[in-house]
Amino acid sequence: MFRQTEEACLDCGGDPFVATDVFPDKNDLVPVCFPCYIDRTDRVRACSVVEVCTEDRNAEFVVGGPSVAEAGEVARSIVEEVSCRGVDAAAALVSPLEEARDSIGDYHARELARAERSESRHVYAGTSQRGTVVDVETRTDEPFRDALAETVARGILDRHDVRKRADAVDCVSTELPTLTEHRGTHTLGVEETVWTLAKDRGVSDASERSSENQKAGREFEEFFAGWCEDLNLEARRGKEALTRFYPEVADEVIRKTDGLAGVPDFLVHGDGQRLFGDGWRPEGDTFVEVKRGTSSLSHEQQRVLAHLKSHGFDVYVLRGEPDEYVFEKR
């Protein structure tokens, strides 16, 4: 929770920035100035802004890091990666977060400082395991992201032969390692655009079937979300909900596994009511992984599920098809 306050900073007596209860050792709202807020969160301390231009569109990526050197390194890597794919880019700002606050605004500075603990999906989804952040959404719009993804994808396809979906993922991670590390290529839709353009050029029948299977998987997830809504069950996307409502557990998962890649698709808030019949209904907050057909859990998913169970969460796998499915308790 954050709110405005006129109380002096509890740590140094300076002018207040915000009153908040986000610090692990405090339950009450604590008034802090911005420098002390950064010290208490102790994650991102520096910021860079990368100006990106494609054709007649201009936008910015916001980069954060534990130090000016790390923020600058990430920014320069991004500039190099996208510039080699036909996009104009430049690092316009590299400075301590305190100095960058006027440029990026109080809210963005506040959330950038929290990194993977941020309440902003744009920030926490763009945080890497090494603690650096690349936010490709806050200062861009959808038309820009679409145009950028297509420009970059065409540049990649000029250098790689993509015959199946896995090739698209591999070549994007090879050509854009820093953006991939921070999930920027996923957010921008680069992998999907590479695959779409590659299919226009001709791919294998097996790849076409793989694409159809992934589409069917997404539709099964949408079915489950609608099913929960019909039963008045609150279903949130698993990674977002874990980070927001159980940040300490999220931190442990990040430390002990490969980030949050294996978190189940949904966190369902159960109420234990039985007024809706004898079907599946969770007693408390429960994680659900949606698996269409007979697809299996990856090794990473199994590791994350084990961590979630150790913290007392029930975990289920919803398996099958919209017209015939079963909940398997793990």
Q: What is the pLDDT of residue 299?
A: 83
Check whether residue 188 and residue 55 sit in a common domain: yes
Q: What is the pLDDT of residue 46?
A: 96
Check whether residue 156 and residue 199 sit in a common domain: yes
- With a pLDDT cut of 70, the percent of the chain lying above it is 91
pTM for this predicted structure? 0.62
Check whether residue 149 and residue 80 sit in a common domain: yes
Check whether residue 196 and residue 55 sit in a common domain: yes
The per-residue pLDDT for range 253-307, each reduced to its tens digit, is 888 876 677 899 999 987 666 544 457 888 889 999 998 877 778 888 888 999 9
Read off the pLDDT band of 16 (50, 70, 90): confident
Check whether residue 160 and residue 56 sit in a common domain: yes
Distance of CA 96 to the CA centre of its chain: 24
Read off the pLDDT band of 165 (50, 70, 90): confident
Please determine, for residue 145, whether its predicted confidence score (pLDDT) is greater than 80: yes
Check whether residue 35 and residue 52 sit in a common domain: no
Domain that holds residue 187: 43-203
76 against 199, higher pLDDT: 76
For residues 39-58, average pLDDT: 90
274 against 142, higher pLDDT: 142
According to the 3-state scheme, what is the secondary structure of the chain? CEECCCCCCCCCCCCCCEEECCCCCCCCCEEECHHHHHHHHCCCCEEEEEEEEECCEEEEEEEEECCHHHHHHHHHHHHHHHHCCCCEEEEEEEEEHHHHHHHHCHHHHHHHHHHHHCCCHHHHCCECCCCCEEECCCCCCHHHHHHHHHHHHHHHHCCCCCCCHHHHHHHHHHHCHHHHHCCHHHHHCHHHHHHHHHHHHCCCHHHHHHHHHHHHHHHHHHHHHHHHHHCCCEEEEHHHHHHHHCHHHHHHHHHHCCCCCCCCCEEEECCCCCCCCCCCCCCCCEEEEEEECCCCCCHHHHHHHHHHHHCCCEEEEEEEECCEEEEEEC
The last residue of one of the domains, among 178, 203, 228, is 203
Domain tally, the chain: 3
The per-residue pLDDT for range 81-92, each reduced to its tens digit, is 998 777 899 998
Read off the pLDDT band of 210 (50, 70, 90): low
- What b/e string do you get for 23-43 counting C-beta neighbours within 10 Å, with b at 16 or more? eeeeeebbbbbbbbbbebbeb
